[in-house]
Amino acid sequence: MTAFFKALLLAHTASLAFAATYWQTDSHTGSGFLKAFRFEAISDPTHGRVKYVDSATAAAQNLTFASGNHFVLRADSKTTLSASGPGRNSVRLLSNKQYRNGVMVFNIRHMPVGCGTWPAVWTVGSNWPNQGEIDILEGVNNQGPNTVTLHTSSGCSMPASRAQTGTALLNNCDVAASNNAGCGVRMTDTRSYGSIFNNKGGGWFAVERTDSFIKVWFWSRAATGMIPTDVLNGATSVNTNNWGTPRAYFPNTNCPISSKFGLHNIVINLTFCGDWAGNAYGSSGCPGTCIDYVNNNPSAFTNAYFDFAWLKIYQ
């Protein structure tokens, strides 16, 4: 092979390695979520005041609902709980498929809000924390903005200064080093979480994962003219090079992403109180205690629901 063709091959290989165009492999909307995810009726690993129900119970109590391009996931908002009984009925979904590198775009109209709530959209490996966790949308007690967080085993940290618009909270991703706080980035856009998110019609969260970095973006539905057209339209291909500076950026500078993050399932869940929402309850301006509030105020959770327009995955 001549030197010219060797150089041409190397250039082509390099262009593929750094390509930011991804092609759609999965698209879920409406009842498609019920086919792509399974119900996890398990004890809450975060010790919440919740009872995750199975698919039959969720259907009977209308805790999951699909119509057209709406998929709704919510908690019970009718039952006053006994202090000695189980927690509030809610839903935890786990994707049937697992994913490694690629792009996920979540088009969400509404998210759960209220004192005591802890909603999350995230991905996780089977051998936690050794296969890693990526929290894409998460927060507690209606206290925004959104926080994006990585959780790993030891040996993964982030540089203090990096190309992101969000604010780094902690830079050591090791769950053992910070009581499972991980390395979080708080978005500066108040429209990214809670009641403000809902009042603006929601928006899009996108995560790109490669062996070199993990990036997360958010665009409010109210950000007219600022939303990339491939995201807005749920196009069959996306080019992340056109998406601008991410809200959260996690490079592999001091974190071997390829070994710290394995195959991941997508999780969508809503819990109450527990390790984070319960501990932060008193400083969130919420009344009484978290467990008493969740037990005795079912109508407070009328707005504790997700409404997904679609989820599209690109690889």
Is the pLDDT score of 2 beyond 60?
Answer: no
CA of 163: how far to CAs of 191, 211, 258, in Å?
A: 21, 17, 21
Is the pLDDT score of 48 beyond 70?
Answer: yes
How would DSSP label each residue in 212-226? SEEEEEEEETT-TTT
| pLDDT confidence tier of residue 118, bands split at 50, 70 and 90 | very high
Q: What is the mean pLDDT of the chain?
A: 94
Is the pLDDT score of 139 beyond 50?
Answer: yes
pLDDT of amino acid 232: 98
The model carries a pTM of 0.93
Which helix H or strand E contains 13, and what residues bound it?
Answer: helix 3-17
Write the pLDDT tens digit of every residue in 270-304.
Answer: 999 999 999 999 999 999 999 999 999 999 999 99
CATH number of 21-126+135-146+189-221+265-314: 2.60.120.200
Is the pLDDT score of 14 beyond 60?
Answer: no
Tokens of 61: 């109590």
Closest to 262 (Cα-Cα) out of 130, 121, 166: 130
Share of the chain above pLDDT 70, in %: 94
Could you tell me if residue 292 is left (phi over 0), alpha (psi between -120 and 50 degrees) or otherwise beta? alpha
Active site residues: 133, 138
Write the pLDDT tens digit of every residue in 143-193.
Answer: 999 999 999 999 999 999 999 999 999 999 999 999 999 999 999 999 999
Instruction: Give the distance between the most distant pair of CA atoms in the chain.
Output: 79
Closest to 167 (Cα-Cα) out of 142, 198, 141, 146: 146
14-24 in b/e form (b: 16+ CB < 10 A) is eeeeeeeebeb
Is the pLDDT score of 102 beyond 80?
Answer: yes
Contact 271, 44 (CB under 8 A): yes
The label of the residue with tokens 């894409």 reads 136
pLDDT of amino acid 5: 39
| pLDDT confidence tier of residue 18, bands split at 50, 70 and 90 | low
Q: How far apart are the C-alpha atoms of 102 and 303, rounded to whole Å?
A: 32
Tokens of 65: 């609902």
pLDDT of amino acid 19: 59
pLDDT of amino acid 6: 40
Q: Do you find a cis peptide bond into 145, omega within 30 degrees of 0?
A: yes
Mean pLDDT of 109-118: 98
Write the pLDDT tens digit of every residue in 195-249.
Answer: 999 999 999 999 999 999 999 999 999 999 999 999 999 999 999 999 999 999 9
Lowest-pLDDT range of 4-8, 56-60, 213-217, 223-227: 4-8
Contact 102, 264 (CB under 8 A): no
Q: How far apart are the C-alpha atoms of 202 and 194, rounded to whole Å?
A: 9
pLDDT of amino acid 266: 99
pLDDT of amino acid 17: 41
Q: How far apart are the C-alpha atoms of 174 and 159, rounded to whole Å?
A: 14
Q: Amino acid identity, residue 309? A: A
Beta bridge partners of 268: 93, 121
Share of the chain above pLDDT 90, in %: 94
Is the pLDDT score of 9 beyond 90?
Answer: no
Q: How far apart are the C-alpha atoms of 131 and 246, rounded to whole Å?
A: 23
